[in-house]
Amino acid sequence: MDVETHPATNPPQRDPSSRPIPIILQYPSTTPPYLITQGAEALLYRSTYLLPSLQCALKYRPSKPYRHPILDARLTKHRILSEARVLAKCRREGVPVPAVYALDEAAGWLMIEWIEGEVVRVKLNEWLKRRKEEGVMEGQDDGELVGLMGRVGGAVGRMHAVGVVHGDLTTSNLMLRPRKGEENGDAVEGKMLDGEVVLIDFGLSSQSTFDEDRAVDLYVLERAFGSTHPRAESLFKEVLSAYGKSFKGASVVLKKLEDVRMRGRKRSMLG
Amino acid sequence: MIAIGLEGSANKLGVGIISHPSPGKPAQVLSNVRHTFNAPPGEGFLPKDTAKHHRSWFIQLVKQAMREAGVKIGDIDCVCYTKGPGMGAPLQSVAVGARMLSLLWGKELVGVNHCVGHIEMGREITGAENPVVLYVSGGNTQVIAYAEQRYRIFGEALDIAVGNCLDRFARTLEISNDPAPGYNIEQLAKSGKVLLDLPYAVKGMDCSFAGILSSIDLLAAELKANPEWKDPLTGEAITTADLCFSLQETIYAMLVEITERAMAHVGSNQVLIVGGVGCNERLQEMMGLMARDRGGSVFATDERFCIDNGIMIAEAGLKAFETGFRTPLEESTCTQRFRTDEVFVKWRN
């Protein structure tokens, strides 16, 4: 579910210049901000932090005119702070996430490390498309994809191990960062899916160690894989098997996932 | 074609007659009558009493609707009734009435999903083409968008419905249920000023209201025990109106937020609000502010079509009837559980 900071498939037409720019991006010395995407909640800009050479992402939650000002301020503050806390915690424990540079919870913005590379969704679709053009059969010669699925499972497992659940795991919220020394990763023939998996967009995340919450996280990812990349769905088991080895207690979560699957999110309606 | 619609899934009994003159032309509402069973203040409506109300008013309302519409039995093409979801006993009473009319008049039956009825009527009245639908009532809270022959549920309440939360708070305050508990809360809220802290429970595109109800009930008990209670920030006295105001501001902000998420997700900038809570002017105002911010617009109807009514059942039923859908007598049951996305929407593409 691309609800936080990723573009809808067909974003409503609106003049972006009519949007207020957060004050921090209005200083004369600031690198001109570039609006990357706007979701329901937040606007994501690219700018720089401290040095003109240090790129950063700025996530801005503008106030909502429909909300009571007190409620609006309370929610914005809470969401900025909880996202920053989760990011800091992940970072401290070695989970691959963007670093927090700065924030102003009253003004509603959070400045974080700029992650190079592409989201997994784009990379995966490119790879699947290329294979189709080359006429490679499904299940044939897919070691590269298996490797990526394993890295995704490992990254999610490490995040769960430190007591964080993402709340919105999709292939749009997973980045593939090229490894050092191969910045032009794309050029390396046949290594399109190489790179480090970095988790992004913690706007719906929370701190939890419940197996239920973790299993729901996996379920959401599984559904997203199924709907976005039907041709890669059969390899989702690789994500789960890597996840199962990633931390103590992961096997209990996988067991729970079976329950969650059975239940789905379908609730029988009463009246 | 002309259809009669019979609705009685909750405490309103509604009978409506609609005409579809010819394909492409707007539908004509020939009559739309309703009678509401109101429980005394401090109580909710019980299934048994509500079913009794529906049984005793059924014939009178059908006669009135026929008279107002000026149609003869021979003009009617089908009898549409609410199959579900809703309260069991009231649904059964109306289903029995529908079967009776079908046998008596020799007309085909069409069982209609109540939620689809709301959506189709809202679309027909407002002319909204392909909106994201917020369906909010005493029994349902759903954010819906149409895709591939089904109304798909993107977000919903995880526990009680938003209208149920309002109804039960009205019971706590022991305010009148006439014309509707939510309406009386809305009127009280107009004079409220102090915003009290309540939980805010949005999870992705879903939301939850049970915790908010518990909190506001606790605040009401506190106010009852201490009528001199003052807001620590401004020193202003806190009143029942402030409680209603705080409740409305919080739960409607949640509804607008999940609707906005769904709009961003499906890339639509139209919203249609249907269901009894959809009459609330503050909700409509907040939704309008959100939609304007997204360069879109909000569609809403008034109490004739928002609150449960017979005409919406006739509208959705007739649309299904025109595509060949029939409910044979032996299958003309009703069900308390009937999800919006279970209905195959053959009349749209």
DSSP letter string, A13-58: P--GGGSPPPGGGTSTTSPPPEEEEE-SS-EEEEEESSSTTSEEEE
DSSP result, A52-71: TTSEEEEEE-PPPTTS-HHH
User: DSSP assignment, residue B115?
Assistant: H
Instruction: Return the C-alpha torsion angle A117, A123, A124, A127, nearest 10.
Output: -140
The pLDDT value given to residue A33? 83
Strands (E), chain A: 34-38, 43-48, 55-60, 100-104, 109-113, 118-119, 164-165, 174-177, 196-199, 206-207
Task: Indicate if B143 and B185 belong to the same structural domain.
Answer: yes
What is the domain range of residue A143? Answer: 118-263
Confidence check: pLDDT of B345 > 50: yes
DSSP result, B127-146: --SS-EEEEESSS-EEEEEE
- Contact: B267, A9; criterion CB under 8 Å: yes
Confidence check: pLDDT of A265 > 90: no
pLDDT in tens, A123-175: 988 988 888 888 887 777 788 899 999 999 999 999 999 999 998 898 889 99
Contact A166, A203 (CB under 8 A): no
- Residue A235: left if φ>0, alpha if ψ -120 to 50, beta else—which one? alpha
- Calculate mean pLDDT across residues B19-28: 89
Confidence check: pLDDT of B10 > 70: yes
- Calculate mean pLDDT across residues B59-69: 97
Confidence check: pLDDT of A177 > 50: yes
The pLDDT value given to residue B234? 84
| Residue B15 annotated in ligand binding | no
Question: Is the bond preceding residue B199 a cis peptide, omega within 30 degrees?
Answer: no
Asked, for residue A125, whether it belongs to a domain, the answer is: yes
Name the domain count of chain B. 2
- Contact: A1, B290; criterion CB under 8 Å: no
Name the domain count of chain A. 2
What span, in angstroms and rounded, lies between the C-alpha atoms of B281 and B179? 15
Asked, for residue A57, whether it belongs to a domain, the answer is: yes
The pLDDT value given to residue B158? 86
Task: Indicate if B43 and B174 belong to the same structural domain.
Answer: no
How does residue B31 score in pLDDT terms, banded at 50, 70 and 90? very high
How does residue A1 score in pLDDT terms, banded at 50, 70 and 90? very low
What span, in angstroms and rounded, lies between the C-alpha atoms of A87 and A12? 30
The pLDDT value given to residue A14? 46
Collapsing DSSP states into helix, strand and coil, what is residue A243? Answer: helix
- Contact: B253, A204; criterion CB under 8 Å: no
The pLDDT value given to residue B203? 81
Amino acid letter for position B90: P
Task: Indicate if B82 and B222 belong to the same structural domain.
Answer: no
Quote the tokens at residue B195: 């915003």
CB-side neighbour CA atoms (13 Å) of B59: 3
What span, in angstroms and rounded, lies between the C-alpha atoms of B126 and A73? 34
| Residue B97 annotated in ligand binding | no
Which residues in B lie closer than 8 A to residue A271 (C-beta atoms)? 9-10, 85-87, 138-140, 336
Last residue in a domain, options A113, A143, A159? A113
Asked, for residue B347, whether it belongs to a domain, the answer is: no
pLDDT in tens, B117-165: 999 999 999 999 899 999 999 999 999 999 889 998 888 898 999 999 9
The pLDDT value given to residue A264? 55
Which residues in B lie closer than 8 A to residue A268 (C-beta atoms)? 337, 339
What phi and psi values does residue B13 have, to the nearest 5 degrees?
A: -105, 120
Calculate what percentage of chain A has a pLDDT beyond 90: 54
Collapsing DSSP states into helix, strand and coil, what is residue B35? Answer: strand
Q: What angle do CA B127, B131, B132 make, to 5 degrees?
A: 150
What span, in angstroms and rounded, lies between the C-alpha atoms of B5 and B28? 13
Task: Indicate if A147 and A40 belong to the same structural domain.
Answer: no
Contact B157, B213 (CB under 8 A): no
Asked, for residue B349, whether it belongs to a domain, the answer is: no
The pLDDT value given to residue B5? 98
Asked, for residue A268, whether it belongs to a domain, the answer is: no
Confidence check: pLDDT of A105 > 90: yes
How does residue B273 score in pLDDT terms, banded at 50, 70 and 90? very high
The pLDDT value given to residue B184? 97
To the nearest whole number, what is the mean pLDDT of chain B? 94
- Contact: A65, B296; criterion CB under 8 Å: no
The pLDDT value given to residue B129? 85
Confidence check: pLDDT of A267 > 80: no
N- to C-terminal Cα separation, chain A: 28
Asked, for residue A87, whether it belongs to a domain, the answer is: yes
Which residues in B lie closer than 8 A to residue A39 (C-beta atoms)? 264
The sign of the dihedral angle between the CA atoms of A62, A68, A73, A76 is negative
Considering only CB atoms, A70 lies closest to which of B139, B195, B203, namely B195
The residue ranking higher by pLDDT, B64 or B293, is B64
What span, in angstroms and rounded, lies between the C-alpha atoms of B18 and B9? 20
Quote the tokens at residue A20: 């207020």
Task: Indicate if B63 and B211 belong to the same structural domain.
Answer: no
Task: Indicate if A94 and A134 belong to the same structural domain.
Answer: no
Residues of B near A (Cβ–Cβ under 8 Å) read 9-10, 85-87, 138-140, 156, 158, 195, 197, 200, 203-205, 249-250, 253, 256-257, 260-261, 263-269, 285-287, 289-290, 293-296, 336-340
Query: Counting Cβ atoms within 10 Å, is residue A27 exposed (0-12), middle (13-18) or buried (19+)?
Result: exposed
Query: What is the domain-level CATH number for residue A43?
Result: 3.30.200.20
Contact B299, A73 (CB under 8 A): no
What span, in angstroms and rounded, lies between the C-alpha atoms of A127 and A147? 13
The pLDDT value given to residue B1? 93
- Calculate mean pLDDT across residues B212-220: 97
| Residue B86 annotated in ligand binding | no
What span, in angstroms and rounded, lies between the C-alpha atoms of A152 and A243? 8
The residue ranking higher by pLDDT, A15 or A85, is A85
Task: Indicate if B234 and B330 belong to the same structural domain.
Answer: no
User: DSSP assignment, residue B1?
Assistant: -
- Contact: A71, B269; criterion CB under 8 Å: no
How many beta carbons lie within 10 A of that of residue A17, not counting itself? 7
Separation in Å, CA B266 to CA A122, A263, B129, B133, B205: 19, 24, 14, 12, 12
What is the domain range of residue B135? Answer: 129-305
What span, in angstroms and rounded, lies between the C-alpha atoms of A49 and A114? 10
Task: Indicate if B153 and B58 belong to the same structural domain.
Answer: no
Task: Indicate if A101 and A145 belong to the same structural domain.
Answer: no
What span, in angstroms and rounded, lies between the C-alpha atoms of B127 and B121? 10
Query: What is the domain-level CATH number for residue A137?
Result: 1.10.510.10
How does residue A6 score in pLDDT terms, banded at 50, 70 and 90? very low
Task: Indicate if B250 and B159 belong to the same structural domain.
Answer: yes
What span, in angstroms and rounded, lies between the C-alpha atoms of B200 and B247? 10
Beta bridge pairs of residue B273: B134, B300
Task: Indicate if A185 and A66 belong to the same structural domain.
Answer: no
Amino acid letter for position A250: A
Query: What is the domain-level CATH number for residue B25?
Result: 3.30.420.40
User: DSSP assignment, residue B217?
Assistant: H
The pLDDT value given to residue A181? 62
- Which residue numbers of A are catalytic? 168
Task: Indicate if A62 and A100 belong to the same structural domain.
Answer: yes
pLDDT in tens, B248-263: 999 999 999 999 988 9
Last residue in a domain, options A81, A113, A145? A113
Which chain B residue lies closest to A204 (C-alpha atoms)?
B204
The pLDDT value given to residue A19? 65
Instruction: Tell me which long-range contacts A70-78 makes (C-beta under 8 A, separation of at least 24).
Output: A70/B195, A71/B195, A71/B200, A71/B249, A71/B250, A71/B253, A73/A106, A74/B197, A74/B200, A75/B200, A76/A105, A76/A108, A77/A105, A77/A106
Scanning the structure block, which residue is given the tokens 């890295």?
A151
pLDDT in tens, A21-35: 788 888 877 788 888
Scanning the structure block, which residue is given the tokens 């022959």?
B149
Q: Which ipTM score applies to this complex? A: 0.89
Quote the tokens at residue A228: 């976005």
Asked, for residue B253, whether it belongs to a domain, the answer is: yes
Contact A156, A250 (CB under 8 A): no
- Contact: B268, A12; criterion CB under 8 Å: yes
To the nearest whole number, what is the mean pLDDT of chain A? 84
Separation in Å, CA B89 to CA B11, B47, B96, B334: 11, 6, 11, 10
Residue from A66, A76, A206, A267 to probe the interface with B (highest B Cβ count within 10 Å): A66
Confidence check: pLDDT of A189 > 60: no
- Calculate mean pLDDT across residues B34-41: 94
Question: Is the bond preceding residue A178 a cis peptide, omega within 30 degrees?
Answer: no
- Calculate mean pLDDT across residues B52-78: 97
How does residue A190 score in pLDDT terms, banded at 50, 70 and 90? low
Helix (H) or strand (E) holding A259: helix A250-263
Calculate what percentage of chain B has a pLDDT beyond 90: 86
